[in-house]
Chains A and B, each alone.
Chain A
Amino acid sequence: KAGVTQTPRYLIKTRGQQVTLSCSPISGHRSVSWYQQTPGQGLQFLFEYFSETQRNKGNFPGRFSGRQFSNSRSEMNVSTLELGDSALYLCASCPSGTYQETQYFGPGTRLLVL
């Protein structure tokens, strides 16, 4: 089975722009979660989608949004980029998101905001 894939792998943007990141989960997985990883804050949860519905949401401003499509692929969007948004954005999937399931991570998208 193919793993979680994320595109693009690297991205450079300037302040004020917006960006869309994509995540394709493992085939058959319906839960997709997004995380922001920075050296100072560690791994921070952004949101989780299951069957096209946002199920959980972290403590991020409204500039961060996401969606999930009927094939379980997910996108996250960041509008009005700030320097502090520079980070590694990780996507993870699992079959249905029950507490016993393992989350499988993609390689991440590294975003640099100039």
Chain B
Amino acid sequence: GDSVTQMEGPVTLSEEAFLTINCTYTATGYPSLFWYVQYPGEGLQLLLKATKADDKGSNKGFEATYRKETTSFHLEKGSVQVSDSAVYFCALRATGNQFYFGTGTSLTVIP
């Protein structure tokens, strides 16, 4: 079945450091891939998405590229800020199916 494997946290970085959160997936079809972010006490918000192979999603300085050959969708940001502290979820959805979420990666950015 479909599934998402996400890098475990927690991750602690200093401000302006480079961020990578790994995400790999298993899917029988051709899914869309998503990164969601959850701030404390809130629901999930879409960060970025990609709907086909080689697409790059980007938002707020975050980027992720849909790599079909390595079944990956790693999240990157060149310079993190304290305000990026949150939990990040990788997710996929294939046609006719439910969303599958990774377990979440907690990121803390210290000044």
Contacts and interface: CB of A to CB of B under 8 A. Distances in A.
Interface residues of B, number: 25
A107 B11 CA distance: 24
Contact of B44 (A48, A56, A58, A90): A90
B98 A105 contact: no
Nearest to B50: A100
A103 interface: yes
B97 A56 contact: yes
B32 A99 contact: yes
B34 to A, nearest CB: 7
A56 B100 CA distance: 12
Contacts, number: 52
A33 B99 contact: yes
A45 B44 CA distance: 14
A94 B91 CA distance: 15
Contacts of B49: 102
Contact of B103 (A42, A48, A100, A108): A42
Interface in B89-111: 89, 93-104
A42 B97 contact: no
Interface in B61-100: 89, 93-100
Interface of B: 29, 31-32, 34, 36, 42-46, 49, 51, 89, 93-104
7 contacts: A45-B101, A98-B95, A100-B32, A102-B34, A105-B36, A105-B44, A105-B45
Given A90-B43, A99-B94, A105-B45, 10 more contacts: A42-B103, A42-B104, A45-B100, A45-B101, A56-B98, A92-B99, A99-B93, A100-B51, A105-B44, A108-B42
